[in-house]
Each structure stands twice: as C-alpha cells, then as structure tokens.
Chain A
Amino acid sequence: MQAKRDQDFFWEGIDRGELLAQKCDACATLRHPPAARCAACGSDEWSAVPLSGEGRILAFIDSVHPSRRDENSRCVCLVDLPEGLRMVSSLIDPENAVNGAAVRFEIADYDGQMLPLIRTVEAGQ
C-alpha cells in the first residue's frame, strides 16, 4: 500500500464536507499547508482539527487559465483565518472582492472536484 501524503487528510476532510488543519499533539501549534513535522517543537504526532470556516481576504487577483481563455476567470484570494493560518482559495462571488472582506468557506464542486472555496459574508450577517 502506498504511504499517505501529508496532505491527504485535508482532502479526505473536504470530501466529508469538513475544513481541517493539522494541530501538533505536543505543543498544539496549528499548521497549514500540511507538513510532516511540527516546526515549532519537532513533534511528528498530530491530529486533524476542524477550522471555524471564517476568514478575511488579504489580497486577490483575477486568474485566467492561459490555454482556456474563453472560460470564466477565477478570483484567487489569500485568506487570513481567525485561527492564525492563511489559505489560498477562490471566491465564488468575485464581484464582491475587496481587501478585508469577511468570507466563509464553502466546500463546493469546481471542474468535477470538491474544493474549499469562499463566499463573502454580508456585514451584520
């Protein structure tokens, strides 16, 4: 049997509808992207923990696939999570893209794959 990659737990979580990150069993430091070992304390023991699914847009760009230019572009964002992590995602409602916007992760199909996408949250919602 092939060994699992460090990131496989994340995609297994996505397929169950969960947004997960690694948490070090020894020092409780969260990390993303996944890594084999905790850079803070050196432990290789970790657990997958659910994230709140909230975030804020730090920056965004318009991404056009260079050889499929007739397809819709994607608004690719850096997202700061309240847990102190950062993720790359793409925005389902790009017309609302603005730095600092509150977003919520939404696990949804894109191009036949389930991915952790984001949608902006209206103020007060």
Chain B
Amino acid sequence: MSAAGQTAITGIGQTAYTKESGRTVMSLCAEASAQAIADAGLEPGDIDGLVSFTMDTNSDHDLQTALGLPMVRYTAKAPFGGEGAYATFQLAAAAIESGQANNVLIFRAFNERSESRFGQPSYNAGSMRGFHKSLGLVTPGQVYALWHKPFLDARGMTNEDLGLLVVQMRAWAANNPAAWFYGRPITLEDHQRSRWIVEPVLRLYDFCQETDGGVAFVVSRLDKARASGRPVVRVLGVQQCWPLGETMMYNYYKQDLVFPEDTVRVAEALWEQTGLSPAEIDVSTIYDNFSSSIPISYEGYGLCGRGEVGDAIRAGELGPGGSTPVNTNGGLIGEAYLHGLNNAAECVRQMRGTSPNQIAEAKIALCAGRQCGMVLARE
C-alpha cells in the first residue's frame, strides 16, 4: 500500500486534439509538456523526473532535449497504458514522497489517427498462429467486446443501453470546445442508426476517438504547491491492482468474467488510503475506450450498487444533471483518445473549477481505470 497524499498536480497541458496533426509526435509531446510546466508556474530547470507508460514511444532523452531540462534524476514507466494510465501518478508520487524528485513531468503523445492506428487489424492471413488473432479477434473493439459481453449479459444490458450511455457522454462533449464532438450531441436514434462494428455489442458511436495529440502533467510536492499561491489539486490517493488471472487485453481466462476483481480491489485500496467512500465522489472520469468499459468500472468503483448500473444509465445518472457525473469532458468517446490521460486532465480542471462542464461545489474527483485509479481533492 503506497502512502500517497503528499503530492499535488500543479500543471496540466494539452495540444489541440486532431485527426491529422501534421507534426512529429515529439513536437506534440514537447508542446503539451511545456504548457504543463508553465501552467505549474515552473521553469524547465525545476523538472527533475519523467514518467510515462510503456506504450508511449517518446524517448525520455529526446523530451529532455526538446524541453531543455538541465538535470533529470528520476524516470519510470507504468505497464501498458489505457486502463492502467493513472499508475503514472503513483510512480510520480513514489518518487516525490521518497525524496527522489521534486517535480515530475508525466507525458503521453501520439499520432494515433494519422500514423499508427490502434484500431487497424494486427493480424492477417499467413501470420503465425495464436490463440486470439487467428480465431478472429484482430482489433481492440473485438477483443474488448468479447470480454465485456458476459458482464452485459449478466446485467441484462443491450447495445441500446450503451446507446443511452453514449448520449450522455456526447452531451458533455457537445459543451466542451476541446472535444472532437463539440457542438454535436446525439440522440439514441442517432446512436442506433450508426453501423455495427462488433455486433451485438458495439456500434460506431460506442468507440473512442482516434486522436493525434499530446497531454502532460506536472506532479509536485504538496508543501511546495501550497506555498506557491497557485491552485492546489491534491492527489489524495492513487492505486494499482493486478490480480493473478486478470489481463489487460485478452481478459478471458478467469473463472468469473462478471466480477471485475481488479477494479474492485483498486477501489477498496483507494477508499482505505483516502478514508473516503463512493458517496463522497462529486465527479468522476471512467476510462472509456469503448462504451461497454464504463458500466463495469462504474459498478466496480461502487458508484452504484452491484447489478444497478443498467438502471443508473437508463435514469441518466452519468450525464448532465445526473447524480454521478462521469466524463464531463465527453470522455475518450466524446473528447479525444489520449490513451486515458485526457480524462485525468478533466479531473484536474474539475478540481480547479475550470471545466467547461463544471460541477458546482465539486471537491473530490475520481479518475478511474480498470487496473488503477486516483482520487483528487480541491484545496
């Protein structure tokens, strides 16, 4: 159990989110990073740690060179990304709380639409035989849909229920100028008219937005952040859980596919670390590479009772005016797919009071992924 709570997110930065940046990935990474450093009121010389996750392809050294960081003393990578993206904040906290760094820069940038698309088939005829791709699981949408289907079946949820959820995500996005779907809300009918990509689970509008762009954060010592006179967003808790038998992508082999053990254990650890309960969460982001990812985590983090997520969605509880606002940026479905980290930036904005869909009086935010999660507090 890590003892977080002594760090703050002092800076956030993001590039424009586009479908074709026309720039190198490192230039996106450096732009977002420089913005985050300036937003924190710091200089390049203040940054002494660099953290990302293993699926990011930007070299620490190239970023150091691009930003002119005089001395880096700490580097680390969390496994994969995506559902595990928020583990980066735990690595940053570990460095800061153990005195190995003072200000850690977290970064993620890619040309995920114009250069290397995750959604393109990773298998073709003649590839070496394997247990998944050879048998027809060639894109992430297919891989996740097959894993999520038993949960949806157990909850009696159909694609129409996911449609009601996407309508809520798109309502948030419609009011967020940075979102791909800014000004473009949809109805359930629109959703149900979008074409099947993975029948009977996911239609086109259930997918996240392939994006070119970058996002970055500065994590700092809490005492220094408080002394700076700038807005303080405290990292109250951040946890990872990787139970034996759960896997990142092809999560098919544990006995009970309905019970999200990793998510439930992350949530338990967070409540223990922060002394909070799900009822005290004012606003959340939930990793939504696909719409079907949200119900599992929503229930796993206890934002509703076991088995109640379908009712919560049908009652509009996750959208504007709902009791548990989720992905007020529009999420990865409505805003952009920065591999999860743009959802963390939205949590920071909510705690600063600067979200385009600001939740009044919001003081506690949950940034949720499947294998990691973070709780932020406004000071």
Contacts and interface: CB of A to CB of B under 8 A. Distances in A.
B134 A61 contact: no
A-B interface, 4 closest residue pairs, ranked by CB to CB distance from nearest: A74-B136, A59-B149, A63-B136, A76-B136
Contacts of A64: 197-198
A88 B138 contact: no
Tell me whether chain B's interface is mostly helix, strand or loop, or mixed.
loop
B152 to A, nearest CB: 9
Interface stretch (B64-72, B93-101, B117-125, B167-175): B117-125
A125 interface: no
Contact of A66 (B121, B196, B200): B121
A32 B132 CA distance: 12
A65 B121 contact: yes
A20 interface: no
Interface in A94-113: 99, 110-113
Tell me whether chain A's interface is mostly helix, strand or loop, or mixed.
strand
21 contacts: A7-B130, A14-B129, A39-B244, A59-B149, A61-B198, A61-B201, A63-B138, A64-B197, A65-B138, A66-B119, A75-B136, A76-B137, A87-B131, A88-B131, A88-B132, A88-B146, A90-B135, A90-B136, A111-B125, A113-B134, A116-B135
A42 B342 CA distance: 41
A9 interface: no
A33 B232 CA distance: 47
A45 to B, nearest CB: 21
Given A67-B120, A88-B137, A115-B134, 16 more contacts: A14-B129, A39-B244, A59-B150, A60-B149, A61-B145, A61-B146, A62-B196, A63-B136, A63-B138, A64-B197, A65-B121, A76-B136, A78-B150, A86-B252, A88-B132, A111-B125
Contacts of B197: 64
Contacts of B63: none
By size class, the interface of chain B is 20 to 34
Contacts of A76: 135-137, 142, 146
A89 B135 contact: yes
B76 interface: no
B121 A115 contact: no
Given A32-B253, A76-B142, A86-B252, A61 B199 contact: yes
Contacts of B138: 63, 65-66
Interface string A55-73: 0001111111111000000
